[in-house]
């Protein structure tokens, strides 16, 4: 794919670290930040995905393989990286919709490792290295506001992320800490479903929304850039869902 070359300049001279940046919303955010002039560092557990993602980014940006469920690897990564400006956490595994009667408790506990504890550890070890004027932008989801059957784990994690965001906005001030809460977005997080199931979900969800379509990763990426640049916003949960919570 042709590399991005256009630069608007609003993030020129800034370093943006995106955990989960090798695909989906994270990669779309990396591309958008690079277009604004940022130096981007993407992090994922999979080196092949990192290599593929770097081909889609301008030359000079970097990627690192880090297990975001491993505390020591996260700590070592930020020690090695040193100072930077903005942290974005979008990492997540494939979504699973299972009723509580069918969820083994051990599986439920493991589900938190990447989405919640990974973000927790990233904030813990990244925050001392964030430059003045910097920010942290985390990821939740509208399941915290409007869960359906089978969303016990997803809704719990999203709600936990919202509480964590608000707490960190106070504790880490003046570093700004915010959270993006997407609705249904066309990404590989739905890969556990068959192609037919995914397309049926996208069609059904999109037809029920006021905007008459589901979200694309590029739609959500613009919200991360907004929160990076909005110097007067902290502790906020920004819902980007095509109006899902309204209908």
Q: Is residue 64 domain-resident? A: yes
What's the number of CA atoms in the CB half-sphere (13 Å) around residue 181?
25
pLDDT for 4: 44
Domain span at residue 74 reads 15-185+217-240
Higher pLDDT, 146 or 169: 169
Closest CA to 129 of 50, 17, 10, 12: 17
> pTM for the complete prediction?
0.92
Whichever domain contains 23, its CATH number is 3.40.50.720
pLDDT of 47 strictly over 80: yes
Does the residue 5 lie in any domain? no
Separation of alpha carbons 167 and 172, rounded Å: 9
- Residue 241 above 60 pLDDT? yes
Share of the chain above pLDDT 70, in %: 95
Q: Is residue 44 part of a domain?
A: yes
**Is residue 208 included in any domain, yes or no?**
no
Judge whether 27 lies within some domain.
yes
Residue 82 within a domain = yes
The verdict on residue 194 lying in a domain is no
pLDDT score recorded for residue 14: 97
Q: Tell me, letter by letter, the H, E, C secondary structure of 191-216.
A: CCCCHHHHHHHHHHHHHCCCCCCCEE
Q: How many domains does the chain have?
A: 1
Which pLDDT belongs to residue 6?
Answer: 46
Written as six digits, the tokens of 66 are 């880090």
Instruction: Give the model's pLDDT for residue 1.
Output: 37
Report residue 30's pLDDT band, with 50, 70 and 90 as the boundaries.
very high
198 part of a folded domain: no
In this predicted structure, what is the pLDDT of residue 8? 56
């Amino acid at each position: 794919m042709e590399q991005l070359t256009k630069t608007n300049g609003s993030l020129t001279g800034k370093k943006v670290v995106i955990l989960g940046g090798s695909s989906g919303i994270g990669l779309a955010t990396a591309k958008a930040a690079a277009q604004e002039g940022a130096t981007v560092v993407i992090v994922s557990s999979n080196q092949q995905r990192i290599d593929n993602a770097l081909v889609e980014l301008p030359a000079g940006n970097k990627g690192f393989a880090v297990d975001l469920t491993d505390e020591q690897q996260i700590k070592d990564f930020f020690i090695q990286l040193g100072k930077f400006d903005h942290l974005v956490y979008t990492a997540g595994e494939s979504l699973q919709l299972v009723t509580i009667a069918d969820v083994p408790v051990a599986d439920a506990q493991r589900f938190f490792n990447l989405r919640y504890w990974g973000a927790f550890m990233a904030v813990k070890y990244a925050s001392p290295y964030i430059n003045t004027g910097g920010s942290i932008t985390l990821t939740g989801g509208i399941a915290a506001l409007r869960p359906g059957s089978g969303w016990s784990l997803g809704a719990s994690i999203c709600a936990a992320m919202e509480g964590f965001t608000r707490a960190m906005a106070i504790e880490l001030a003046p570093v700004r800490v915010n959270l993006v809460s997407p609705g249904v977005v066309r990404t590989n997080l739905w890969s556990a479903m068959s192609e037919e199931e995914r397309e049926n979900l996208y069609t059904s969800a999109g037809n029920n929304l006021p905007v008459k379509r589901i979200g694309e990763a590029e739609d959500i990426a613009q919200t991360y850039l907004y929160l990076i640049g909005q110097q007067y916003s902290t502790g906020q949960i920004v819902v980007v869902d095509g109006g899902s919570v309204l209908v």
